[in-house]
Amino acid sequence: MSDTTTQPRLKRALGLTGLTLFGVTYMTVITVFTTYGIVNQVTDGHLPSAYVVAVVTMLFTAASYGAMVRKYPVAGSAYTYTQQSFGGAAGFLTGWVMLLDYLFIPMINFMLIGIYLNTQFPAVPIWVFTLVSLLLVLLFNILGINLVNKVNFVIIALSVVLVVVFVALAFKQYLGGDQAVGLIEPFTFGEGGIGAVASGAAILALSFLGFDAVSTLSEEAKHPRRDIPRAIVLSTLLGGFFFILVSWAGALAFNPDWSALSGDQIDAAGTTVMDSFGTSWFTAFFVAIYVVGAFGSGMTGQVSVSRILYAMGRDGMLPKPLSRLHQRFGTPVVAAVIVSVFALSALFLSLDTVAFMISFGALAAFAMVNLSVIRTYLFPKNGKRPEGAWAWIRYGVMPLIGFALTIWLWTSLQALTWLVGGIWLVVGVIIIAIVTGGFRRPVPMMDFSENDPSTQQIDQMGEDYPLDPRA
C-alpha cells in the first residue's frame, strides 16, 4: 500500500512585487529613526553621508546575493551559500554568526515599539508594549506567509505617507529658518572624518538586512531564480533612496549638538525631530506609523530567522524539531517560538547594544556571501567556470569590492561588539565539535546533487528562468 501522507512544506506564494515589498518592509522605510540618534552622535550630524557609504557597499553585496540565489534557490541565505561554497563547517559558522543579527532584529523592533509608545503613554511601562508586540508577531508568523504579505502592503503605504509629509515639513522648516546648514553639508565627512562616517555606516548595515531577508524566502517564491535576485536589488535601491532622502531632510530641519543630548533623547530621537516642527499632531502621527512600521519589520524579521533555524534543523546542525512545520499552515512553528523566547531579552538589553550586535552579524554574513560568489563561479567544484571578461568582472571584481567594503565597515565597530561576537563564534565551534563527535565526522550539509530527492523539487516552479552565467 502506498503512503498517501504528505509532509507539510513551505508554500510558494510570493511573486516579484511581494518579495520586493517584503524586503522594503523588513528594512522599513522609516527605520532611519531606529538608529537616528545613535548614528548622528557617531558622525556628528552627518547621517546622510553614512547612508551613502552604506548603500554603495550594500549594492555590491546585493548583487552577490542575487548570483548565489540563482545557484541555490533554497531557504538558508548566507548559511546555505557559504556551506555549498566552502563546506559545512564554514557554512554553519556563517549561519551561526548571522543568527546574531536575525535574532536581534525582531528584538530591536519590539524595544522600539515600547520606547516610542511610552513617549505617548508614559503611564504604561515600556515592557508591556514590548511584550504585547512580541506575542502578536509570533501569532502572525504561525498563521503563514500570505497573511504577512498582505499586512506588508498596508505598512508600506502608511510609511510612504509619513515620509512624504515629513520631507515636506522638513523642507518647509529649512526654507523658513536661518538655514544654518548648507544643502550639501550633511553629505560631507565633518570633523570626525571618514572614520566616523565609516563607523556610522557600519551601524547602518542593520538597515539593509531586507535583501538578505528576501533570499531566505527562496522556497516560498513562485519563481525564485528569476524574481529573488531582482527583488534583492530593487529592495536595496528603494530602501536606500528613502533612507538618504529622509536623513537628508531631517539634517536640514533639525541639526543640534548631538553629543549634548541625553540617552532617552537619543533612543527616541524620532520624536525629538518631530517635536522641532512645532506641530503636536504630527508627532503623534509619526509615533503611530513608526510603531506600525516597527511591527512590520519585527514580523518579517521573525519570519526570516525562523526559516534560517528551519534550514539548520533540517540539515542536522541544530535540533531536528526546529525543522518541524505546522501541519495546517506550513510554517516552522517550533523555530518561531524559539525566536520569540530569545526576543524576551528586549526587556533588559539597551538599544545601542542590540544595534551594534545586529550589524556585527550582518557584516560577517555579507563578507562570506561575497567570497562565496568568487568560489562558486570562478573556482567551481566541477571545473566549469563561465567564460569571458564580463564573468571575471561580475563574479570576481564586483564581489571582491563588496568584500573589501564590508570588511572595512566591520572593523569600524566597537571593541565590545567584537568581544561578544567572538564569544558567540566560539559557542558555534563548540556546537560543531558536539555534532561531529569531536571533529571526527563531517559537518552535515544539504546535498545538491541530482541524485538527492530532497533537492530535486526545490525550484519546480522556477525552472522557466535557467541559470545564465552572464546574468
* pLDDT value of residue 282: 84
Beta-carbon contacts of 201 under 8 Å, excluding residues fewer than 6 positions away, are 50, 51, 53, 54, 57, 409, 412
Least trusted range by pLDDT, from 46-55, 251-260, 454-463: 454-463
Q: Provide the total of helices (H) and of strands (E) in the chain, helices listed first.
A: 19, 0
For residue 83, pLDDT over 60 is answered with yes
The three-class DSSP label of residue 74 is coil
For residue 81, pLDDT over 50 is answered with yes
For residue 428, pLDDT over 80 is answered with yes
Better-predicted residue by pLDDT, 267 or 65:
65
Which band of pLDDT confidence, cut at 50, 70 and 90, is reported for residue 171? Answer: confident
For residue 454, pLDDT over 50 is answered with no
For residue 457, pLDDT over 50 is answered with no
CA pair distance 156, 387, nearest whole angstrom: 41
For residue 194, pLDDT over 80 is answered with yes
Residue 82 C-alpha from the chain's centroid: 17
Dihedral over alpha carbons 111, 349, 145, 14 (to 10 degrees): 90
All three cell numbers of 36: 537616528
**pTM, whole model, 2 decimals?**
0.77
CA pair distance 11, 38, nearest whole angstrom: 39
Highest mean pLDDT among 30-34, 124-128, 175-179, 354-358: 124-128
For residue 424, pLDDT over 70 is answered with yes
For residue 19, pLDDT over 80 is answered with yes
CA pair distance 394, 18, nearest whole angstrom: 27
CA nearest to 19, candidates 274, 225, 159, 198: 225
Angle between helices 16-27 and 280-315 (to 10 degrees): 110
For residue 460, pLDDT over 60 is answered with no
For residue 60, pLDDT over 90 is answered with yes
Give, in degrees to the nearest 5, the angle at Cα 427 between 425 and 430. 115
266-271: long-range contacts, CB 8 A cutoff, minimum separation 24: 266/37, 266/38, 266/41, 267/37, 267/115, 267/351, 268/37, 268/115, 268/116, 268/119, 269/33, 269/36, 269/37, 269/40, 270/30, 270/33, 270/36, 270/116, 271/116, 271/119
Helices (H), 33-87: 36-43, 47-71, 78-86
For residue 155, pLDDT over 80 is answered with no
CA pair distance 50, 262, nearest whole angstrom: 22
